[in-house]
Amino acid sequence: MKTSTKIIGIISLLFISSLFIFSSKKDDVTLTNEKNTSETYQIKALKIPTNLNFAGERVPTEDEDVKERIDRELLVNTYWQSNTILLIKRANKYFPIIEPILKKNGIPDDVKYIALIESGLQNVTSPAGARGFWQIMKATAQENGLEVNDNVDERYHVEKSTEVACNYLNKAYKKFGNWTLAAASYNAGMSGISKKQEEQLVSNYYDLLLTEETKRYILRIVAIKEIVSNPEKYGYIYDQDDLYNLPPTKTIKVDSTITNLAKFSKDLGINYKIIKEHNPWLRENKLNNTSKKEYQIKIPNNTK
C-alpha cells in the first residue's frame, strides 16, 4: 500500500510538472507573437499601376516576371525613405537645368530619371571611373569634346555632360528604334545590347535575359519616375520650401590663367567654396589655361 501511494505521488508530481512546462511553453509562444513595432507601424504591399511607361513605351506588367521586377523596384524605393526623399529634393534643384537640354536635343523628358538613378544627382565617381551626374567615362567624354584632365574635368559640368548624354542616346535610339533599349544601352553599351539580341533572337528589352544590373535598370528608372511624379501616393509629404533650390547665377568669361582660384574668388567678393560649388568641373585651386581657351565660370547673381 505504501509503495502504491509513493507511485501515485510520483505520477502526480510528473503530471503537475508537465502542466507547468506546457504552460511555460504556451507563454513563450504568446510572447513571440507579440508585435515588435509600434501599434501604428505598417508595411504595405504596393498595388502596381497598369499604366507604367518609359518615354511613352509601355511596361508590360501583365508579364509575371516583369511584374515581380517592377514590384521589387517600387518596394525598394518606396521604403528606402531617406534616399528617395533626397532624390525628390535634388530633382527640384537640377531638373530645371536638365529638362530644357533634353527638349532641345529631341530627347524624351523621362530620360532625366537616368541621371537620378545613375548618380542621385551628385558628382560621384564609380569604381570603373565614370564621373558626374551622367556617370560618363573618360574616353566617352573626350570623344564628345569634353575636356578631362587633372585641372579641368567637364564631366562635372551639368550642362555639358547632359549634352554628351543626349548625343549618346540619340545614336542609340537610331540604332535600336525605341527609347527603352536606348536607355538600357546607357548601362550595358550599344554593343552589349546588340550582342544579347543576336544571341537570344529577340529584340524587345523585356524579352532579353540580361545581367542583373541591366535587367533592373529600366525598371529602376520607371519606379523612380512613378514615385517622384506621385510622391503623396507613396507616402512622401513635404512643403515646397522643403525642396532644394539652385541659387541664381550669372557667368563671367575667363580666357587667361588663374594662378590662385581662392584669391580670384575673394577678388570677386565670394570665397573658394562658393566658386567650386557652382563650378565643380574646376578640379584644382588654379586654372592652367595655357591655350587661352574661353571658359564660362558661374558666380552668384548678387556678386558685384
Nearest CA among 185, 212, 223, 187 for reference residue 87: 223
The CA radius of gyration of the chain, in Å to the nearest whole number, is 29
Q: Which residues pair with 53 in a beta bridge?
A: 58
Mean pLDDT over all residues of the chain? 91
The helix/strand/coil state of 285 is coil
* Cα-based distances in Å from 33 to 27, 30, 37, 39, 283: 10, 5, 12, 14, 57
pLDDT-derived band at 16 (thresholds 50, 70, 90) equals very low
Residue that has been written with the C-alpha cell 504596393 in this structure: 46
pLDDT of residue 2: 43
Q: How far, rounded to the nearest angstrom, does the alpha carbon of residue 158 sit from its chain's CA centroid?
A: 16
- Cα 174 to Cα 59: distance, rounded to the nearest angstrom: 21
Q: Is the dihedral of CA 9, 10, 12, 17 positive or negative?
A: positive
Nearest CA among 162, 172, 105 for reference residue 136: 162
pLDDT of residue 1: 44
- Say which residue, 23 or 235, is predicted with more confidence: 235
Q: What is the mean pLDDT of residues 117-131?
A: 97
pLDDT of residue 17: 52
What global pTM score does this model have? Answer: 0.87
Q: What is the mean pLDDT of residues 245-266?
A: 97
Query: Residue 159 in contact with residue 101, Cβ under 8 Å?
Result: yes
* Cα-based distances in Å from 158 to 93, 257, 274, 280: 12, 23, 16, 9
CATH (residue range 53-242):
1.10.530.10
Nearest CA among 191, 193, 143 for reference residue 163: 143
C-alpha cell at 297: 565660370
Residue 125: CA atoms inside 13 Å, Cβ hemisphere, count? 5
- With a cut of 70, say whether residue 84 has pLDDT above it: yes
